[in-house]
């Protein structure tokens, strides 16, 4: 492991430089450095480079011990502040040891050392703009998001809010985009959106505003939610998720207002992704004789969707539904791109199996063979199959699987699926008799 003195010196130096130049903003600080300094929605100057702050920012357990042996460092016992007795010595020491990756993660120092770096072979290609581009903006920090939510929703509403919206930072998203297998159309749409966000000023200039509202349609478990989240992770944006089914009669009076507030929050967090799951809910409430307050909330939602824009507000809107057939034209026309999430074909299934198992040990692993056996299964089903195989092997104290374990797990999954689709009242069904589901010839013929 690299020595802990370098990150601590970098931290103290960054804080000193940041305090000296008022033109720096929180977005210039490496994201991990901001953690200790949030006060509500603000980071107030001057920042104090204390031992505690250094520990939180750098993950070095004993920051003062890490740098106390260096000639140019000092420590105030009383305030716990770290400092340099000779800043130019500290700067030179840092420049002799830093790496391009470290600098690229630190906009403050790339700007501060700009002229020096330009003369150093190894660093000449590093620019402040690149570092800023890579650094997560302060608005995507958990502390900022929590403070903002608190400001918008007072305590009484907090519970309802938690049911209705969920905000994640890009790091809080588990599955990155490169671990999701996409169809070509999906790849194409994602490329377009990434470009649109990159060039939004140009799009505004030429007056192209009808962009940035996507609808993901497809059966359950085909990756709609995962792709929307992974996009936030890839773009480094906060992810605001609205669960429409939570618009229930439970909190009638406030719901329409909270829908409005959710959009305001999204605009305040922008650039961000606003994800509206279960979009078919909209259609259901419009056609049925729902409570007037729910209808009001849904109308507010549709109006808010009309008023939000990627180009003006930097909010990318993604809706998702399992039931595109239930959407009326009023709902459809609000989206400018429809992205299809079909059940995966045989090649995609093989790729998904490959990705999901990349950290597992499997003897004779043949993803193509398994893909042939799993027609009709979704990505989510395949994950379940693998989980079952892993757990099954664990009951035999094994952590190395075999292809056979996986084939077996597929069979069991299909039996489970048979039970799910079973008509429980039917007389002549073996599976309803204990032991019936054990027979191999009973394996269920999937969809095709």
Residues at the interface with ligand ATP (CB under 6 A): 175, 180-181, 218, 220-226, 322, 341, 344, 352, 378-380, 383
> What length is written for the chain?
448
- Of the candidate spans 225-233, 349-357, 385-393, 413-421, the one that interacts with Mg ion by CB under 5 A turns out to be 225-233
Radius of gyration of the chain (CA): 27
Interaction partner, residue 221 (ligand ATP, Mg ion, none; CB < 5-8 Å by kind): ligand ATP
In whole angstroms, how close is the CB of 55 to ligand ATP at the nearest point? 35
| Nearer of residues 137 and 319 to Mg ion, judged by Cβ | 319
* Distance between CA atoms of residues 444 and 448, nearest Å: 11
Work out whether strand 239-243 and strand 165-168 pair parallel, antiparallel, or are unpaired: antiparallel
Question: Which option in Mg ion, ligand ATP, none does residue 380 bind, with CB closer than 5 to 8 A by kind?
Answer: ligand ATP
Distance CA 103, CA 109 (A): 7
- For the bound state, the minimum distance from the C-beta of residue 364 to ligand ATP, rounded and expressed in Å, comes to 23
Comparing CB distances to Mg ion, the nearer of 66 and 228 is 228
Our CB check for ligand ATP shows the closer of 176 and 436 to be 176
| Contact status: 225 vs Mg ion (CB under 5 A) | yes
Structure tokens at 59: 């993950």
Q: 253 with 375: CB under 8 angstroms?
A: no
Q: Angle at Cα 211 formed by Cα 209 and Cα 217, nearest 5°?
A: 155
Q: Shortest distance, CB of residue 226 to ligand ATP, whole angstroms?
A: 3
- 223 interface partner picked from Mg ion, ligand ATP, none, CB below 5 to 8 A per type: ligand ATP
322 binds, among ligand ATP, Mg ion, none (CB under 5 to 8 A by kind): ligand ATP
Residue partners of 403: CB distance under 8 A and separation at least 6:
362, 363, 364, 365, 366, 369, 370
- In contact, 304 and 184? CB cutoff 8 Å: no
Shortest-Cβ-distance residue relative to ligand ATP = 379
- Cross-strand partners of 81: 50, 76
Give 126 or 320: the residue with its C-beta nearer to Mg ion: 320
When the beta carbons of 58 and 222 are compared against ligand ATP, the nearer one is 222
From the list 10-18, 182-190, 220-228, 349-357, the region that binds Mg ion by CB under 5 A is 220-228
Pick the closer one to ligand ATP by CB: 49 or 344: 344
The residue with its CB nearest to Mg ion is 225
Helices (H) and strands (E) in the chain — how many of each? 23, 12
Minimum Å gap between C-beta 163 and Mg ion is: 16
Least distance between ligand ATP and beta carbon 126 (Å): 35
CB of 247 to ligand ATP, least distance (A): 17
Rounded distance between C-alpha atoms, residue 104 and residue 2, angstroms: 18
Phi, psi of 321 (to 5 degrees): -150, 145
As measured in angstroms, the least distance from the Cβ of 328 to ligand ATP is: 20
Bridge pairing between strands 337-340 and 213-217: parallel
Query: What minimum distance in Å lies between the beta carbon of 277 and Mg ion?
Result: 6
**Which listed option, Mg ion, ligand ATP, none, makes contact with residue 107 (CB within 5 to 8 Å by class)?**
none
C-alpha span between 317 and 215 (Å, rounded): 8
Burial of 237 (0-12, 13-18, 19+ CB in 10 A): buried
Q: Which does 36 bind (CB under 5 to 8 A by kind): ligand ATP, Mg ion, none?
A: none
Question: How far apart are the C-alpha atoms of 387 and 410, rounded to whole Å?
Answer: 11
Interacting residues with Mg ion (CB under 5 A): 224-225
């Amino acid at each position: 492991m690299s020595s802990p003195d370098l990150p601590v010196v970098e931290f103290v130096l960054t804080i000193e430089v940041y305090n000296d130049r008022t033109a720096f903003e929180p977005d210039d600080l490496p994201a991990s450095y901001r953690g200790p300094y949030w006060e509500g929605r603000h980071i107030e100057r001057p920042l104090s480079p204390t031992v505690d702050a250094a520990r939180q920012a750098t993950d070095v357990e004993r920051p003062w011990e890490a740098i106390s042996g260096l000639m140019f460092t000092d420590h105030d016992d009383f305030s716990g502040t770290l400092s340099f007795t000779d800043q130019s010595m500290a700067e030179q020491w840092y420049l002799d040891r830093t790496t391009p990756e470290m600098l690229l993660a630190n906009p403050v120092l790339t700007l501060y050392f700009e002229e020096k770096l330009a003369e150093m072979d190894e660093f000449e290609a590093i620019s402040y703009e690149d570092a800023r581009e890579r650094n997560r903006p302060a608005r995507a920090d958990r502390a900022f998001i929590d403070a903002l939510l608190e400001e918008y929703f007072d305590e009484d509403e907090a519970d309802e809010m938690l049911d209705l919206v969920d905000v994640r930072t890009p790091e809080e998203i588990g599955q990155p985009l490169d671990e999701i297998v996409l169809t070509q159309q999906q790849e194409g749409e994602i490329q377009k959106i990434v470009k649109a966000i990159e060039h939004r000023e140009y799009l505004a200039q030429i007056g192209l505003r009808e962009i940035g509202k996507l609808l993901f349609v497809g059966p359950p478990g085909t990756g709609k939610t995962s792709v929307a989240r992974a996009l936030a992770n890839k773009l480094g944006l906060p992810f605001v998720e609205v669960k429409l089914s939570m618009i229930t009669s439970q909190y009638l009076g406030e719901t329409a207002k909270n829908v409005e507030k959710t959009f305001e929050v999204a605009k305040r967090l922008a650039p961000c992704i606003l994800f509206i799951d279960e979009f078919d809910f909209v259609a259901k409430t419009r056609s049925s004789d729902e409570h007037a307050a729910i209808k009001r909330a849904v109308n507010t939602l549709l109006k808010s969707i009309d008023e939000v824009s990627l180009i003006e507000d930097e909010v990318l809107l993604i809706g998702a539904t399992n039931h595109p057939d239930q959407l009326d034209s009023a709902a459809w026309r609000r989206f400018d791109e429809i992205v299809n999430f079909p059940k995966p074909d045989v090649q995609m299934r093989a790729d998904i199996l490959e990705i999901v198992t990349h950290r597992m040990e499997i003897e004779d692993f043949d993803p193509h063979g398994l893909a042939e056996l799993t027609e009709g299964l979704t990505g989510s089903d395949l994950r379940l199959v693998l989980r079952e195989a892993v757990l099954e092997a664990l009951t035999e104290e094994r952590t190395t699987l075999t292809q056979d374990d996986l084939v077996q797990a597929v069979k069991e999954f299909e039996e489970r699926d048979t039970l799910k689709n079973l008509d429980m009242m039917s007389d002549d069904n073996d599976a309803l008799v204990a032991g019936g589901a054990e027979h191999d010839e009973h394996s269920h013929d999937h969809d095709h």
